[in-house]
Amino acid sequence: MATKRDYYEILGVGKSASKDEIKKAFHKLAHKFHPDKTTGDADKFKEVSEAYSILSDDKKRAEFDSYGRVFQDGTGPGGFSAQGGPASGWDFSQFGDAFQQGFGGFDFSDIFGDAFGGGAQRQRRGRDISIDLELNFKESIFGTKRRVLLAKTAQCETCKASGAAPGSKMQTCKHCNGTGKIHETNNSFFGTITMQSPCRHCHATGKVPEEKCHTCRGEGVYKKQEEIEIAVPAGIEGGEMIRITGAGEAVQGGASGDLYVKVHVQPDPRFKKDGPNLLTDLSVKLSDALLGTDYKIATLDGEEHISVPAGVTHGELLRVKGKGVPNAHGKRGDLFVKVKITLPQKLSRSARALVEKLKEEGI
């Protein structure tokens, strides 16, 4: 078959591409263009499949490289007719065990999973929810508990998520005959494909109530406001996420999603966090720095007394033990106090005379 198609260009690889590179390129494009996906394009999928069937076969690839075409008993490469469609009567059986053992070393189950009826059925899961939570600095250090009100899909308390009215019996679903699965047959360029999907009438349980719950109308879940308690751990940083498993939206016959809480911490002008420790500043008069004295300082636990030693230097750190950030075991870091010696803007005559005297003594 004469062809103007450049199979290398279709897969987006060079002519020197290895088999592994060709396989990866096909894998990516097949994911993207498969007709059962939201980004699907049947024509593009057929095109990349044709390109892969040629370039994954050493003999066909050599023919294509040499002559720009592949010779195959009146049909195009890979069983495609000259019109670009599947050759007459072509179906999955022409692949032999390709879908069990891999197409040219490539396993389609890696891409499509349940689409071809293989693989385990995934459990249904509710949607995740994300919210923001603002804390003051002290709450972020010691931890806290907050209660928030969320409008979300939650399990019905009347029927306990069963969808059945109280006292109503469950019966076999007539749509799936109790299997919880529906088989759908679709035609594709491969031939006839049978796909399996969860039964929407019984939510894949195989059972339906004789009488539906009046609160949720048989859905087992409904939209309502629900109060959630959030436990904020001690020492949390702004921007961190707290995950609460199962606090997201509910779905009948499956697990609830999760709640993700993004924490925002309001800064405190007095303190900075440095790992397990806290930092604060203390303004000290020049005379107190020279002679030493006691100062009152603010901590997150209240006021504390700190002794400023005589001769303390500007920028020196004084430590107050156990007034820092608590860890998971309850042990706390320290509070470090940075000394800032303040100098007078103006000196009185007597003060100036004293300073002159100190200067004469070399101080």
Q: Which domains does the chain show, CATH number per domain?
A: 7-113 (1.10.287.110), 272-360 (2.60.260.20)
pLDDT on residue 157: 87
The number of helices, as runs of H, and strands, as runs of E, in the chain is 9, 15
Q: Give the DSSP letter of residue 247.
A: -
Q: Which range has the worst mean pLDDT, 129-143, 247-261, 310-324?
A: 247-261
pLDDT tens-place string over residues 273-324: 999 999 999 999 999 999 999 999 999 999 999 999 999 999 999 999 999 9
pLDDT on residue 277: 96
Q: What is the largest CA-CA distance in the chain?
A: 115
pTM score, two decimals? 0.57
E strand spans, 215-315: 221-232, 241-244, 259-265, 272-274, 277-285, 293-299, 302-308
- 250 close to 154: Cβ distance less than 8 angstroms: yes
Could you give the percent of the chain with pLDDT greater than 70? 80
pLDDT at 105 over 80: no
Tokens of 154: 């939650």
pLDDT tens-place string over residues 162-188: 888 888 888 998 889 888 888 777 665
Sign of CA dihedral 29, 35, 39, 43: positive
**76 pLDDT tier (thresholds 50, 70, 90):** very low
pLDDT on residue 192: 67
- 230 close to 146: Cβ distance less than 8 angstroms: yes
C-alpha distance across the termini of the chain, in Å: 101
pLDDT on residue 106: 46
pLDDT on residue 104: 43
pLDDT at 352 over 60: yes
More confident residue, 318 or 84: 318
pLDDT on residue 91: 40
* Angle between helix 58-67 and 42-55 (nearest 10): 100
Sign of CA dihedral 63, 67, 68, 72: negative
Write the CA distances from 353 to 130, 285, 286, 292, integer angstroms: 67, 18, 16, 22
Instruction: Specify which of 2-6, 45-49, 289-293 reaches the highest per-range mean pLDDT.
Output: 289-293
pLDDT tens-place string over residues 213-245: 988 888 889 999 999 999 999 999 999 999 999
Average pLDDT, the chain: 81
